[in-house]
Structure 1
Amino acid sequence: MSGIFISFEGPDGAGKTTALNALVPLLKEHTNKEIVESREPGGSEIAEQIRKIILAVHDEKMDDRTEALLYAAARRQHVIDVIRPTLAANKVLLSDRFVDSSIAYQGGGREIGTKEVAEINDFAIDGTIPDLTVYFDISPEIGLSRIRKDHEGAMDRLEQEALSFHQRVHDSYLDLLAANPDRIKSINADQKPEKVVSDALDVIIKRFPNVFNGGK
């Protein structure tokens, strides 16, 4: 595969998706490669259907391991339908979340075990790993306060979890960062949005100077 795979990660409220949306037009100014945006859970027709089940607010009785398996199933379909074809076509894939999210949220947050969730997803992704992961870091307290302010009560199942859950998620992300320093690069998300986007852009350009080389 000759394309580039970049994933974007972060706790709830980090502003990851907003930053990604702002990054796309900037990245397009720095490369001739086609850029494809996607997300998880979701990204393809079947995966989006699984997303609706996973994040439905009324599914409080969903078993934690069922949740983890559904995320892995959606991810597998995303890999097959979107990620691998995009990379094979020599394009740049930007994914809003990937396997690190499951390890942090289900493995750490749900306390299933990060090793166990990683093993489930190793089977699902079958060797498909991001070339770079941009991690937007923010404290659980600030992240949750942002969510409550921005969503005005309309939060999904994971966002509604207690602070202790989100603290475990944050801690798991930091463990992943420590274990994968070459792949995962951290951005301070507790800054002005413009600075967050600028920092993320710098990280990507420095990692792939031959692709994002200052303009077309």
Structure 2
Amino acid sequence: MYKSFIFFLFFFSIFIHSQEKLKVNYEVIHQTNVSWGDAKLSDEMKDQMLKKIEQLKKRPESCILYYYEGNSYFTELVSDEKNINKKQKKEYFKFKNQNSYYQLNDYRVEEFYGYYPDSSSEIEYKDENLTIENYLCKLAIVKTGNTISKVWYTEEIPVSAGPYNFNSLPGLVLKVENSKYLCYATHISKDCKEHEIKKKDSKLSVYKGLELETKIKEGRDKMRKNGRENLDAFKQKMQNSK
């Protein structure tokens, strides 16, 4: 009888939290690597551009996570000033009862979704704690490809959701740190509305596995070309301002 009661409480808890509604604001600081490629720039021009990039790096970008009854949507809120390569913000979709997520890839010339199973990341749980926004958090080391992240999540909000692709841990993710960025929660509320969960565009193609890797490589090549064009335009703008 007692065991039956315990099981009832356990599954009731899962049901209750599956009905959770959350809106989480994050701030993220990206680590930006600068490559001049074959661009012919004077030392003065490079110095001016590096100073501009350093100023932008010091200002955190805003991100937001919407979670509504098992479905989640995460997006970056990138300003035009910081969006140097004119690449649109990243978007991540996680659907209830699915062990996978979708990421929007936008390379200006083409938009498409990448499909990723939760098993695409390796997770190692650690016996370390940290308090973030008054929530007791636990540490997990997550390896995705060549990127290793320190991820802090709280079981006090037992929903599998978080920024970017960190949406398969047994609690809401409040902080992520790796070689590419530092992302941390700044505000948590329960006023998420169902219409705030953006719908995945059914007109866009979905790729996975090796086919997805090929599409991403093509997209990056296009972005590098676009970046060189933007660099030339920036160079001309700097020369005209003298």
TM-score (norm 2): 0.28
Higher strand share: 2
Higher helix share: 1
Larger Rg computed on CA atoms: 2
TM-score (norm 1): 0.30
